Amino acid sequence: MTDTGFRDSIPRHLIYALGTDPQNATLGDWRIALSLAVRDRLVDAWLASARAARQAGAKRVYYLSMEFLIGRLLEDAIINLRLEEEVRAALAALGLSADEVIADEPDAALGNGGLGRLAACFMESLATLGVPAFGYGIRYEHGLFRQSFVEGRQVEEPEDWLTQVHAWEFRRRDVRLRLCFGGEVVDEGGKPVWHGAEAVMAQAYDTPMIGWQGKWANALRLWSAEPLHGFDLDRFNRGDYAAAAEPEALARTISRVLYPDDTTERGKELRLKQEYFFTAASLQDILRRFEAEGGALADLPKKAAIQLNDTHPAIAGPELVRLLHDERGMALDQAIETARGCLSYTNHTLLPEALERWSEDLMTRLLPRHMQLIERIDAAHAAEKPDRKVALVQEGEVRMGELAFVMAHKVNGVSALHTGLMKQTVFEELHRLHPDRIVNETNGVTPRRWLFSANPRLSRLISGTIGEGWVCDLERLCELEPQLDDAAFLDAYAGAKRANKADLAGWLAAEHGVQIDPEALFDVQIKRIHEYKRQHLNILETIALWQEIKANPNAPWVPRVKIFAGKAAPGYVFAKEIIRLINDVAAVVNADLETNRFLKVVFLPNYNVSLAERLIPASDLSEQISTAGKEASGTGNMKFALNGAPTIGTLDGANVEIRDRVGEKNFFLFGMTTDEVVARRAVPDHARQAIAADKRLGGALKAVSQGVFSPRDRHCYRGFVGNLTGHDYFLVCSDFTAYWDAQRRVDAAFAEPAVWWPMAARNTARTGWFSSDRTIRGYMADIWGASSLDPA
């Protein structure tokens, strides 16, 4: 298609697809018309990819995830199809700004945090590597809630991304699958047959996942719940309107909303229904495709690699056994073996409260046949491993982590430290019984979205220095190494960062009325709010710094802006307290004329993928300060390092591997190791001792508890401070002094451009390994046995 062809296709879609007159088209109309025009350019590759996979009889990867934190899709498609210039020119000719049009798209916020975003990065890398794959998930009507602040407190509102045309999805009219819940299992001729009591339809919607250079595309298939029978006209005619609409409303409930918890399972029936709904629909769809391509059931593992993104789809084990044994007559033990040959499981957290355990009663009531099969699987495992102690059902609860482990041929952690801890803690016995099953696949992020697209200034400098090969071969960033002592290169590098910071400062002033100095150090902590991520350690250090500046106003302070963003699970009271405190501290510190030229605090509402893309390229310091042993990997840490923001952090998750690769001189390390954490916890009143030993910490806690930041409600933080001085399970107090000292080292380095910029640039040059392309290659080799069909 010629340039003019593309340019003309935009108004054509506006007129003929949207029926809108260009004269009174809104920005949103133009954005959808442009999306349709860009979409035209990827559908051919998409259909060709599906055809190539079918013709090659290729093994497919199936990535099952309750969450896909996609963000916006228009810019991703433009970047991967290399249409930037064409789009900018076409929009300019229409008198439109590309940045404004792109920013009009709502984020697809179908996830909570790390797990969901990782799934999205993986889908982009699978397409870039030309691996035949499907992502399977739920088409939530409402994604992660919108966050706003009222008097500094988090307020949640429903997110409604689907209230407008979603230009990137295709409703697959022919892909509707019937699923059941409840009911009973009856013995018919010696065969257990499940008669479900409640049925619902799973309707497929496909979204193309295009790869770099637009050579390959895979489908993300999201299921929407619909009633078996539409509208009940009889009831309506009898004037029973509500009842007439009830079946529809009931069915739709299943895919209505994403559960906003990212660490605590609440054992809600609807959550289990969601997990079974998308897992069963996906497995039925996988078997339907396999059988349509003439496969023999026993060969399924040769053609289907099914990855379980945490335990949320772990019901896949018993469901696949049911489909092979109950519905297709395969012998039970062979069905278990065949299922295991397909399934593999990724664990993303060791937090006890995040490990899913469904009550046996609920499982039996909702999925009676699966409960029976879980017991059969447990018995088969006991037969295989007579001395095994760990059972899949304990104290009336089904252990989904253990079930996933037993039904998988490979289990992986998401960083070297995390995988090691899995073997020593939650899966210690299963690891002993199956010593070759656990492997490590350290997380990664897609360089297309998180560097090439989000940071065009730095990308142009890199491409201008080493060519553009790095975009799909990120470890080539190391070719920058020879430039890292070159003053001209470092100037250009610093220039890119400075310009990004100026843009951010401009945006913050315009959108949030916040004035910040682009020359200041932008110190950024953006992630879900959780005690183990220790945003409260950061704000306590901020308070101590403020007090120190007030006490020494003439000292040569390095101006700093503390930027926070992140959502708390609605039911997580302590996390909401942390948000409130940060906002309260910001109000006092930013209004303090004695100190606000040296220190400002900003908490940006409604953190999401698009906000991260705006903040990370403009950041100087990456806060990765979790209690050692708690953050399975982290992926924000990788995005910051690639964008030239050195890390202040603990030896936790992938921080360890980032530090190994950038070098200890280019990483601000502090705090206890995982072993020291265990030892420190055993010290009675460890928090009191730490407070007694550090006056700054004591001073900060005192200010909080005395209401310095809550003049209208002086004692509201008593509980908060009480928790820290008493329990302090995440050792905020015991790591405070080391954190303070590390922050002062940051000040010293930032004050020396000749020290800071080589450090920042080394972070970019040495973290190419953290590409999700490398991670996916690891899964392909160690777990899936899948290969690329890339039409190189």
- Which residues 412-431 are close enough to bind ligand 26W by CB under 6 A? 414
Angle at 464 between CA 462 and CA 466, to 5 degrees: 65
**CB contact at 8 A, 670 and 742:** yes
Is 348 assigned a catalytic role? yes
Enter the tokens of residue 726. Answer: 């008493």
Distance between terminal CA atoms of the chain? 22
- Name the token pair of 620: 């100087």
Closest by Cα among 174, 369, 410, 405 to 280: 369
Stretch that binds ligand 26W, among 93-101, 112-120, 165-173, 600-608 (CB under 6 A): 112-120
CB of 266 to ligand 26W, least distance (A): 8
Beta strand 198-210 pairing with 170-181 = antiparallel
**Catalytic residue selected from 13, 527, 600, 680:** 527
Number of residues that bind ligand 26W (CB under 6 A): 22
Q: Of 588, 595, 525, which Cα lies nearest the Cα of 557? A: 595
* 310 contributes a contact to ligand 26W by CB under 6 A: yes
- Strand stretches in 50-181, DSSP E: 60-64, 68-71, 108-110, 133-138, 146-150, 153-157, 170-181
Stretch that binds ligand 26W, among 150-158, 233-241, 316-324, 626-634 (CB under 6 A): 626-634
Looking at beta carbons only, is 115 or 374 nearer to ligand 26W? Answer: 115
Site for ligand 26W in 319-348 (CB under 6 A): 348
Asked if 694 touches ligand 26W (CB under 6 A), the answer is no
Whole-angstrom distance, CA of residue 287 vs CA of residue 63:
15
Is 166 part of the annotated catalytic residue set?
no
Asked if 623 is part of the footprint of ligand 26W (rule: CB under 6 A), the reply reads no
- Going by the DSSP 8-state scheme, the letter that residue 106 receives in this structure is P
Catalytic residue among 325, 369, 533, 560: 533
Q: Per the structure block, which two tokens stand in for 789?
A: 């069909």
Q: Does 258 bind ligand 26W (CB under 6 A)?
A: no
Strand partners, 201: 178, 226
As to burial, measured by CB atoms within 10 angstroms (0-12 exposed, 13-18 middle, 19+ buried), residue 513 is exposed
Annotated catalytic residue 527: yes
Q: Which stretch binds ligand 26W (CB under 6 A): 111-119, 165-173, 313-321, 331-339?
A: 111-119
Q: If you search the block for the tokens 């637009």, which residue do you land on?
A: 214
**Quick one: which segment of 44-52, 113-121, 379-387, 736-744 binds ligand 26W (CB under 6 A)?**
113-121
**Nearest position to ligand 26W, beta carbon:** 114
- Give me 111's structure tokens: 């996830």
What contacts 209, CB < 8 A, 6 or more positions away?
A: 123, 124, 126, 127, 135, 217, 218, 219, 220
Q: Does 652 bind ligand 26W (CB under 6 A)?
A: no
567 is known as an active-site residue? no
Would you count residue 634 as binding ligand 26W (CB under 6 A)? Answer: yes
* Among the residue ranges 447-455, 593-601, 632-640, 676-684, the one whose residues contact ligand 26W (CB under 6 A): 632-640
Kindly state the smallest distance separating residue 417's Cβ from ligand 26W, in Å: 11
Task: List, in sequence order, every residue forming a beta bridge with 704; answer none if it has no partner.
Answer: none
Residue 528 bears catalytic tag: yes
Q: How far is the CB of 69 from ligand 26W (least distance, A)?
A: 9
* Catalytic pick among 72, 340, 639, 766: 639
Interface with ligand 26W (CB under 6 A), residue from 49, 125, 203, 263: 263
Of residues 49, 225, 33, 70, the one with CA closest to residue 140: 225
Q: Could you tell me the smallest distance in angstroms from the CB atom of residue 477 to ligand 26W?
A: 21
Site for ligand 26W in 433-452 (CB under 6 A): 443
533 is catalytic: yes
Residue 71, interface with ligand 26W (CB under 6 A)?
A: no
Dist CA 154 CA 606 (whole Å):
10
Residues identified as active-site: 348, 527-528, 533, 635, 639
Residues near ligand 26W, by CB under 6 A: 112-115, 118, 261-263, 265, 310, 348-349, 354, 356, 414, 443, 631-635, 653
